[in-house]
Amino acid sequence: MTVRFSLLAALVFSLVPIFSSAAIAADRFALVIGNAKYPDADAPLKEPVNDARSIADELKRDGFTVEVGENLTGDGMRKALERLYGQIKPGAVALVFFSGYGVQSNRQSFMIPVDAQIWTEADVRRDGLSLETVLGEINNRGAGVKIALIDASRRNPYERRFRSFSAGLAPVIAPNGTLVMYSAALSSVMSDNGGDHGLFVQELLKEIRVPDLMAEETLNRTRVGVTRASRSEQVPWISSSLAEDFSFIPGARPAVAALPQQPAAETPPPPPAAKVDPPTPPKAETPVPPAPEKPAVASLPSNDPPRSPPQPALADDPTIKSLTAKLVENPDDAGSLYRRGQVYASKGAYDLAIKDFGDTIRLNPKDVEAYNNRCWVRAVTGELQSALRDCNEALRLRPNFVDALDSRGLVNLKSGLAKNAIADFDAALKINPRLTSSLYGRGLARQRSGAISDGEVDVNNAKAMDPNIVKEFAGYGVR
């Protein structure tokens, strides 16, 4: 599918001396959502609620009628959006701000409510709210100016072992008269800074308060500010097809420039920090299990995660309670067993996860996902021989299964079989060159096999793609 985006490349946007005040005089409505308390996450996000409140306060000062939602469920988000749709009149300005977790699926970006239960690609589309759908509905209600400010390019709790996914957000196909800004570049993720407010919102609020700026210039200045403050580690993305002048501050006048009008084009990002692109693995035939090396007797690392019993709060987890209730009614519900195993694994309750995955396999001996997830959990806890058997079975059932190749690479890495680990990570990267865990794992394996410089390139590239990758592998007992 060919997609064409109308992005503006200059900071001067009104090139006609006659100023249209329609967008400034129009009614202004905003829905501001800050979602922080996701049960599947290790801890609540620190920034979204404070950011949402600050954005809402500023928009109110700028003449918007604002509704603020905090920690909204899917039903709560849909009802809030319906209220927004109901307010819109022809020619109105409608703005949506969302801070929380976002996931891209099928080339669309979805805002995730706090009660989403996501294990598969279909779950994203079922429980998430499509940004394209929201903007389309706002347009259908007659809004003249449509603005979406999305601060959701975070590494989310649904990724890694529990869903095949693409990181970050996808470009949006929006109707004319739309201005969209993501807090980070397409298909990239960022980490919260741990403070009360995120960098994106800090810079956005600073620029919104500058008088006599058109909205596109406000967002471009925000992008420059975020890029500079983060030293190019975070570069927001902007898409605009506004057909009329609009300023966040009512009464602002656009600058008139004696420049020839240029066609809309994609906003070029500032020069990024120098990073080495991940090397594309050479083409290879269908990967087969590498010839096994004989592991040393004492190859198990001593820093495997402890297999402690689950925390007392685990039984009160709403997702686990819901799945357990289903299993009380039907103990042979393989889907609920598998999903509960995923939640247990994400919470660090590894013994319970292994049991649920085992029961899933008992009910369906060909469940390749259950084999892969049990392989990974066993790799994390140090049951390396059992983990290897599970991964091999997953790859027998589904050759070229990238997650199982990645999992087996971890098994071999922890077993001290560097050559086998490199072969598995190479095969995984051939299928998905941006699989950060395989890139980092291959880097460690290369270093351990003596290819120090090649290993450093992989490790540095993986860290550039995901600053949390070192911590993630430390959690697996690999340093």
Grouping H, G, I as helix, E, B as strand and the rest as coil, residue 146 is strand
Reported confidence tier of residue 25, pLDDT bands at 50, 70, 90: very low
Helix or strand run (H / E) with residue 439: helix 436-448
Q: Which residues contact 472 (CB under 8 A, 6 or more apart)?
A: 160, 437, 466
Structure tokens at 321: 């309670």
Q: Which residues contact 250 (CB under 8 A, 6 or more apart)?
A: 24, 62, 63
Check residue 107 and report its DSSP letter. Answer: T
Reported confidence tier of residue 172, pLDDT bands at 50, 70, 90: confident
Q: What is the pTM of this model?
A: 0.57
Is residue 26 scored above 70 in pLDDT?
no
Q: For the segment 27-39, what is each residue's pLDDT rounded down to a tens digit? A: 999 999 999 999 8
Name the residue type at position 402. Answer: V
Q: How many whole angstroms separate alpha carbon 454 and alpha carbon 457?
A: 5
Crossing angle of helices 368-381 and 334-346, in 10° steps, is: 30
Structure tokens at 138: 């706002």
Comparing 106-120, 123-137, 186-200, 441-455, the range with the smallest average pLDDT is 186-200
Q: How many whole angstroms separate alpha carbon 396 and alpha carbon 322?
A: 33
Cβ-count burial of 364 within 10 angstroms (0-12 exposed, 13-18 middle, 19+ buried)? middle
pLDDT of residue 165: 53
Domains of the chain, earliest start first: 22-240 (3.40.50.1460), 312-475 (1.25.40.10)
* CA dist list (Å): 177 to 64, 87, 262: 18, 18, 18
Q: Are strands 108-111 and 102-105 parallel, antiparallel or unpaired?
A: antiparallel
What burial letters (b/e) apply to 342-361, b meaning 16+ CB within 10 Å?
Answer: bbbbbbbbbebbbbbbebbb
Can you list the positions of beta strands (E) in 297-343? none
Is residue 262 scored above 50 in pLDDT?
no
Q: Is there a contact between 469 and 438 (Cβ–Cβ < 8 Å)?
A: no
Name the residue type at position 311. Answer: Q
User: Looking at per-residue confidence, does 148 or 323 come out higher?
Assistant: 148
Q: What average pLDDT does the chain have?
A: 80
Q: How many whole angstroms separate alpha carbon 386 and alpha carbon 390?
A: 6
Q: What is the dihedral of CA 18, 21, 23, 27, to 10 degrees?
A: -170
Check residue 326 and report its DSSP letter. Answer: H
Which residue carries 């620029």 as its tokens?
207
Of how many residues is the chain composed? 479
Grouping H, G, I as helix, E, B as strand and the rest as coil, residue 214 is coil
Q: For the segment 37-47, what is each residue's pLDDT rounded down to a tens digit? A: 998 887 899 89
Phi-psi region of 142 (alpha: psi -120 to 50; beta: other; left: phi over 0): left
Q: Is there a contact between 65 and 132 (Cβ–Cβ < 8 Å)?
A: no
The closest of 295, 321, 312, 287 to 423, measured between CA atoms, is: 287
Helix or strand run (H / E) with residue 345: helix 334-346
pLDDT of residue 284: 41
Tell me how crowded residue 291 is: count the other CB atoms within 10 A of its CB. 8
Structure tokens at 337: 């067993």
Crossing angle of helices 402-414 and 436-448, in 10° steps, is: 30
User: Looking at per-residue confidence, does 211 or 179 come out higher?
Assistant: 179
Q: For the segment 289-319, what is each residue's pLDDT rounded down to a tens digit? A: 444 443 433 333 445 555 544 455 677 777 7
First and final C-alpha spacing in the chain:
43
Check residue 311 and report its DSSP letter. Answer: P
Helix or strand run (H / E) with residue 28: strand 28-34
